[in-house]
Amino acid sequence: MRVTELWRFPVKSMQGERLAQVEVESQGIRGDRAFALFDRDSGFGLTARRQPALLFAAAAYRPDGSVTITLPDGTTADDDEALSAWLGRPVTLRSAAEPGERVYENPADFEHDDDWEPFSGASGAFHDSGRANVSLLSTATLGAWPQRRFRANVILEGEGEDALVGSTVSVGEADLDVRMQITRCVMVTRPQPDGIDKDLTVLRTIHRERGSCLAIGAVVAGPGTVRVGDELHPRGEARPTATAPARSGR
């Protein structure tokens, strides 16, 4: 399988950045899920499960480790007050380096956003699970679905990623221990920019045909650079002597 797209999502549940190459570090891709919004009143971390509007803002990671957030109207949110005014609730932007609880909410029934259940996220970067610091998804598994619904870091040309669970793989200069299939929730049904509409049939289909899972999650066994065009190899296969040329991201 070959890497066709690389994505970083600097703020949890916001639109991210398509890149030509990424640096994979101990917590995953550098800058990925490096920030998250927290409700000041409840203390819960906000995701597009509870606040679908988050998916209509975009985040870009800066070289100095900060983030630029662009709101749907094209303006930049420079502080918590601007973010609070946009969402209509008091929120604060937290860095993954800051201490504090990471509790989020998920609807008990994705068909109806009535009852909400809390769950604890990972330490370090703001991932839902510490076993999925890097997510990978193949074009064959995606089929006709927009890949942006699933917010995977690595899109692979080919098929068969589920069979990699429990193994170590090399991609570019990085080594990944593939720990899990990723269980999907209401997030994949939420609307997004560019005509991606609310669609509950996406999750109904994943529950029915894929046992509720789509994409795989890995932890980093060895850091390194990954580029578009790199091949994924199960550990033990010879790593290629050179990677394919980097392609332009968008």
- What pLDDT is recorded for position 202? 97
144-166 pLDDT per residue, tens: 999 999 999 999 999 999 999 99
Whether 109 shows a pLDDT value over 70: the answer reads: yes
In a domain, residue 242? The reply is no
How far apart are alpha carbons 69 and 10 in whole angstroms?
A: 9
* Residue 245 forms part of a structural domain: no
Percentage with pLDDT > 70 across the chain = 94
Query: What pLDDT is attached to residue 235?
Result: 81
101: nearest Cα among 116, 83, 119: 119
Mean pLDDT of 13-28: 97
- Tell me the residue range of the domain where 222 lies: 2-234
Taking alpha carbons only, the member of 10, 220, 232 closest to residue 133 is 220
In the chain, the amino acid numbered 160 is: G
pLDDT number for residue 239: 41
Q: How far apart are CA 119 and CA 111, in angstroms?
A: 19
DSSP characters for 7-29? Answer: EE-SBTTSB-EEESEEEEETTEE
Contact between 148 and 190 under an 8 Å Cβ cutoff? The reply is no
Paired tokens of 158? 């080919």
Q: 83: pLDDT confidence band, cut at 50, 70 and 90?
A: very high
- Is residue 244 predicted with pLDDT exceeding 60? no
pLDDT at 114: 86
Total count of domains within the chain: 1
CATH number assigned to the domain comprising residue 82 = 2.40.33.20
Q: How far apart are CA 72 and CA 57, in angstroms?
A: 5
Amino acid sitting at position 125: A
pLDDT by residue (tens digit) across 65-82? 999 999 999 999 999 999
Is residue 113 pLDDT above 90, yes or no?
no
Nearest to 21 by CA among 176, 196, 227: 227
Residue 250 lies in a domain: no
Q: Smallest Cα–Cα separation from 131: which of 80, 94, 183, 173?
A: 183
- Contact predicate 55/192, CB 8 Å: yes
- What confidence score (pLDDT) does residue 249 get? 36
What mean pLDDT, rounded, does the chain reach?
Answer: 93
Task: Give me the pLDDT at residue 54, please.
Answer: 98
pLDDT band (50, 70, 90) for residue 195? very high
Task: Please tell me the least confidently modeled range out of 43-57, 118-132, 188-202, 234-248.
Answer: 234-248
Q: Name 103's bridge partners.
A: 120
Asked if residue 98 belongs to a domain, the reply is: yes
Question: What percent of the chain stands above pLDDT 90?
Answer: 92
For the record, the structure tokens of 89 come out as 């609730």
The reported pLDDT for the residue numbered 236 is 58
- Identify whether 249 is part of a domain: no
How many angstroms separate the CA atoms of 35 and 10, rounded?
A: 6
For the CA atoms of the chain, what is the radius of gyration? Answer: 18
